[in-house]
Amino acid sequence: MGRNDDAIAQRKAQHLDICSDAERYAVEGGSTLLDEVRFVHRALPELNEPDVDLGTSFLDMPVSMPVFISSMTGGSAEGYRVNRLLARVAQESGIPVGTGSIRILFRKPDVIDHFMLKRIASGVPVFANIGGVQLVDPAQDPLLELIRRLEVDAVAVHLNPGQEVVQPEGDRAFRGVLDGIARLCERSPVPVIVKETGFGIGPAEAALLVDRGVRYVDVAGNGGTNWVTVERYRMDPAEQEVADEFADWGIPTGVAVAACDSLPGRILASGGIRSGMDVARAIALGAQAAGLALPFARAVVSGGYESARALAERIRSVLRTVMVLTGSPTIDALRRAPLVRSARFTEMTSALREADAERLHG
């Protein structure tokens, strides 16, 4: 293993350590603003609880509920252990799961097993992960070959300019990423998902991505893990002061989903999704499914398979109860459930739409 390979594996292991130790590291910030949205309670739901069906589809495959485990890890020993556990949780819970970035496989192909989650989670959608900056290079054949070998159902491209720009070893050349994504969409054997990693994607950029062939846009907004804050723990004090000013950076997840309502069936919600109630609100705002990263990482590291499985079941239970109390027998009915949005939420949603359209087209 060369120095660079060591460095990537070590960095990934450090990220997982920082994110999974809630006592020592505070890595979350901002707000999804999902708590500014309320369902209208129905005293007369006019349905029978056993008839409520949480099943839906993800990448045209049936799943047991509109929830997924977001892209996280692989490449280190602990990452491999976590991936195996997450894949089991996904399989048993009937929900999709993502791998962490497969970039390390270009340098260290021997860890491919860390990313072969389909062997464990054969009954649910599994998606691989790669950085947008890795797509700028026009030669995508090695990536396409890897995607085939991993036998995944999709590939998620992560956009993380915030993290890259503060990371000492980060890639800072962001020009050409959109064209790189379009090239991947043309040639990829599986659908392409594009995600942020906690700072959000606005409606104009989401529309651009869908226009270039992207199947799902995961807004991955503000309100959960903040990757500048994660990197802050790896910085010297002067750099930390710069990072501190970005503790609340980004588009709140709830507002990003609401502002993307012209792209039905194309939007995934993640970034700060922490409960079944958050999932329910995100679905009613227009998301196809909602994803969690940090809570699953913490559950699996602190309590193993059982804790992560219990988290999935808690989410299911709350989602089911919301469906009963809003008179929604199916997930499609939940998507149409009326919502009361605060004035702040409504204002922020329309302000985001306007500002975003101006930025790209004005």
Ligand X SMILES: Cc1cc2nc3c(=O)[nH]c(=O)nc-3n(C[C@H](O)[C@H](O)[C@H](O)COP(=O)(O)O)c2cc1C
CB of 104 to ligand X, least distance (A): 10
Contact 118, 86 (CB under 8 A): no
Indicate whether 117 belongs to the interface with ligand X (CB under 6 A): no
Pick the piece of the chain touching ligand X (CB under 6 A) from 177-185, 192-200, 258-266, 328-336: 192-200
137, 138, 233, 154: which is closest to 188 by C-alpha? 154
Piece of the chain touching ligand X by CB under 6 A; list 34-42, 52-60, 66-74, 180-188 = 66-74
Rg (CA), the chain: 19
Minimum CB distance to ligand X, residue 195 (Å): 6
Of the candidate residues 96, 200, 272, 276, the single one contacting ligand X (CB under 6 A): 272
CA 200 from chain center: how many Å?
A: 10
Residue 90 binds to ligand X (criterion: CB under 6 A): no
Q: Applying CB under 6 A, which of residues 59, 185, 279, 293 lies at the interface with ligand X?
A: 293
List the one residue out of 343, 281, 351, 271 whose CA is nearest residue 35: 281
Q: Report the residue number, 267 or 337, with the smaller CB distance to ligand X.
A: 267
- Closest distance to ligand X from the beta carbon of 301 (Å): 9
**Best CA proximity match to 269, nearest among 355, 178, 193:** 193
The answer to the question of residue 222 lying near ligand X (CB under 6 A) is: no
User: Is residue 215 a contact point for ligand X (CB under 6 A)?
Assistant: no
Answer for which of 150, 292, 319, 334 binds ligand X (CB under 6 A) is 292
Stretch that binds ligand X, among 49-57, 288-296, 309-317, 323-331 (CB under 6 A): 288-296
Q: In the complex with ligand X, which residue's Cβ is closer, 158 or 327?
A: 158
- Does 195 bind ligand X (CB under 6 A)? Our answer is yes
Residues 1-60 close enough to bind ligand X by CB under 6 A: 15-16, 19
| Total of chain residues touching ligand X, rule CB under 6 A | 25
Q: Residue 206 corresponds to which tokens in the numbers above?
A: 């989401």
The helix or strand, by DSSP H or E, that contains position 7, with its residue range, turns out to be helix 3-20
- Residue keyed to tokens 């903040």: 226
What spatial distance separates the first Cα and last Cα of the chain, rounded to whole Å? 49
CA angle 7-9-10, nearest 5°? 65
Among residues 287, 294, 315, 337, which is the contact residue for ligand X, using CB under 6 A? Answer: 294
For 29, the 3-state DSSP assignment is coil
Question: Which tokens is 140 given?
Answer: 């995508």
Closest residue to ligand X: CB criterion: 224
Please report whether residue 349 would count as binding ligand X according to CB under 6 A: no
Q: Which is nearer to ligand X, 30 or 327 (CB)?
A: 30
Residues in the chain: 362
Give CA–CA dist 102/114, Å, rounded: 9
Min dist. Cβ of residue 158 to ligand X (A): 3
Instruction: Map tokens 């503000």 to a residue.
Output: 222
How far apart are alpha carbons 221 and 226 in whole angstroms?
Answer: 9
Verify binding: residue 198, ligand X, rule CB under 6 A: yes
Among residues 297, 299, 315, 352, the one that binds ligand X under rule CB under 6 A: 297
Query: What is the C-alpha separation between 268 and 265, in angstroms, rounded?
Result: 8
CA-closest candidate to residue 290, choices 281, 299, 298: 281
Q: Which of residues 146-175 bind ligand X (CB under 6 A)?
A: 158
SS3 70: coil
Smallest distance, Å, CB 343 to ligand X?
26
CB of 298 to ligand X, least distance (A): 8
Residue whose pair of structure tokens reads 């054997």 in the numeric block: 189
> Does the protein bind ligand X through residue 71 (CB under 6 A)?
yes
Site residues (CB under 6 A) for ligand X?
15-16, 19, 70-73, 100-101, 129, 158, 195, 197-198, 220, 224-225, 270-273, 292-294, 297
